[in-house]
A = this chain, B = another copy of it.
Amino acid sequence: MAQERNTEELIIEAAKKIFVKRGLAGARMQDIADEAGINKAMLHYYYRSKDKLFEIVFNEAIGKVLGRLSAVLNQPMPMLEKIPAIVESYIDGVIDAPYLPMFVLNEINQQPEMFIQRLKTMGNFPNILLFLKEIVEAGKQGQIKEVSPIQLLLNILSLCIFPFVARPLAQGIFQLDSVQYNILMEDRKKVITEVIFAWIKV
């Protein structure tokens, strides 16, 4: 079209689109090639195999998902300010890339071992574990109630992510069109903060 972009990137963009939409098993190399507007052989020329290509896309995806989290998790703020910030930022992130969480979660479930391996390469997400400690600290200092930090983080993530993972199901059951659902998701920023606060406020 407009620009004669770097073929390598073009392929990655296309692969991202197709893999995220269909998953590893459902994605076809031909579809990726078509999406990129190039010959199928190019895919192999630049990225040996489907698996190699997938690995790149997947790593980028999981990096994005976890990276987004890490970014907000350790800003130096009092816990009661930080939680709304996390919620806001994370929901905005998911609105931006609504298929990412489903894609990542599904592929991880498909090959948990392979993923565990990868996790070790990426380090143990010190910022996430640090955040858990911060929660404990905040509890001891009486900023918030003393609750299981893992449960708290799980709660926040559940409330933020699930409605996107289950979006078509929820839309179907509640009979909402996309516009209505988006409004619901915007409202959720407030709701989630409310819910969490109600639980942890002293």
Contact = CB atoms under 8 A, between A and B. Distances in A.
A188 B119 contact: no
Contacts of A167: 109
Interface stretch (A6-14, A29-37, A84-92, A172-180): A172-180
B110 A26 contact: yes
Interface in A112-131: 112, 115-116, 119, 124-125, 128
A25 interface: yes
Interface residues of A, number: 51
Interface majority SS (helix, strand, loop, mixed), chain A: helix
B184 A194 contact: no
Given A23-B25, A25-B23, A184-B150, A162 B157 contact: yes
Contacts of A163: 154, 158
A71 to B, nearest CB: 15
A102 interface: yes
30 contacts: A22-B25, A23-B23, A25-B25, A26-B26, A99-B109, A102-B105, A102-B106, A104-B169, A109-B165, A112-B168, A115-B168, A115-B172, A119-B172, A148-B187, A151-B184, A154-B163, A154-B170, A154-B188, A158-B158, A158-B159, A158-B162, A158-B163, A161-B162, A161-B166, A162-B162, A165-B165, A195-B195, A195-B198, A195-B199, A199-B199
Nearest 10 A-B pairs (CB), nearest first? Answer: A25-B26, A158-B162, A112-B168, A198-B198, A25-B25, A162-B162, A198-B199, A158-B158, A195-B199, A119-B172
